[in-house]
Amino acid sequence: MRDLRKGGWDVYGYNRSPRTVAAAQRGGFDVSGDLAATLQRAEQDRALVVIGVPVPALPVMLEAIATHAPTVGFTDVSSVKVEVHDLVEQAGLTDRFVGGHPMAGTANSGWDATLSGLFDSAVWVITYDNAKTVGDPGAELWLDTWRRTIQLAEAVGAAVVPTVARRHDAAVARVSHLPHVLAEALAVTGDVGGPLALTLAAGSFRDGTRVAGTEPALVRAMCENNRAALVKALDETLALLHQAREDIAAQEQDIHRLATEGHAARMRFEARAGRSSKDTPHRPVIRVQPGAPGWVEQLNSAESMGAQIGIF
């Protein structure tokens, strides 16, 4: 809301917490505690609705949208996408839904935790599982929702990357959920070493355990909603660690293999992250025309490169 208003957008919202509503209103924002009224107003305005609730709260929210905003498009910002798409389909709302996942956030919540510029240069994933092409039934509403979701992400400075839900969930299991599980295990193993180990701990332990500082409930929610993909990623890591364990114990010095592969992988990540940093504004962008013949193939191709897209 902060960044959109700064960008000149007409933005208003609903929150179930009276404290949050009061704090937002004191900050001069147009926020209400009446869900039905807010959704009716969105329907009236032909607004794009953005849902930002935990996955377990989604069914109730989808029902409210079906009832009070029966014809406008909507998107979400959840960190998993398969389960969200399934719930949207069960609610019969697929034709006007585009999934979203801004890859930015903090461990804090509530109005006081809001901040400007959070999404600047961040990746904002947008799903295209239910993509329509001009001429398909309902294409106009869905394509309008897709365009407006991209405009929303771009308005707050994010880089839009298209994926299908399943591949999004597989990717974040590897690069977001797995790091949390490893950090927890490292924190516990270090702690078992007692005061001496914690005194000797320096940078490698500090960095390796940082996300173990995340609220346990948030970590649990991540893992619960992406079980299959996380188990697959964790099994791969376990296989690598078992091999390393055997190599170290067998005195074959073959930890060299994992160390070499790990080093090369980190270098590829750094090269890639460098390209998408604020310091390098010339990120390659693939331009697509939503709904044009062949556009889904373009999205597939952008996804396979992890490329940013823009719209004509």
**Least distance CB 127 / its own copies (angstroms):** 13
Q: Which two tokens stand for residue 204?
A: 């490698």
Pairing verdict, β 123-127 and 159-163: parallel
Q: Give dist(CA 60, CA 85) in Å, integer.
A: 15
When the beta carbons of 120 and 136 are compared against its own copies, the nearer one is: 120
Pairing verdict, β 123-127 and 100-102: antiparallel
**Least distance CB 229 / its own copies (angstroms):** 10
* Closest-CA residue to 61 (of 9, 26, 97, 22): 97
First-to-last CA distance in the chain? 25
Instruction: Tell me how many helices (H) and strands (E) the chain has.
Output: 14, 10
**What stretches of 69-113 show up as alpha helix (H) in DSSP?**
82-90
**Least distance CB 184 / its own copies (angstroms):** 3
**Least distance CB 30 / its own copies (angstroms):** 31
* Closest-CA residue to 161 (of 276, 271, 2): 276
When the beta carbons of 13 and 190 are compared against its own copies, the nearer one is: 190
When the beta carbons of 34 and 236 are compared against its own copies, the nearer one is: 236
- How remote is the C-alpha of 51 from its chain's centroid? 13
SS3 152: helix
When the beta carbons of 34 and 252 are compared against its own copies, the nearer one is: 252
When the beta carbons of 95 and 184 are compared against its own copies, the nearer one is: 184
**Least distance CB 56 / its own copies (angstroms):** 12
Are the C-beta atoms of 23 and 33 separated by less than 8 Å? no
**Least distance CB 131 / its own copies (angstroms):** 17
* Closest-CA residue to 16 (of 42, 36, 2): 36
When the beta carbons of 19 and 268 are compared against its own copies, the nearer one is: 268
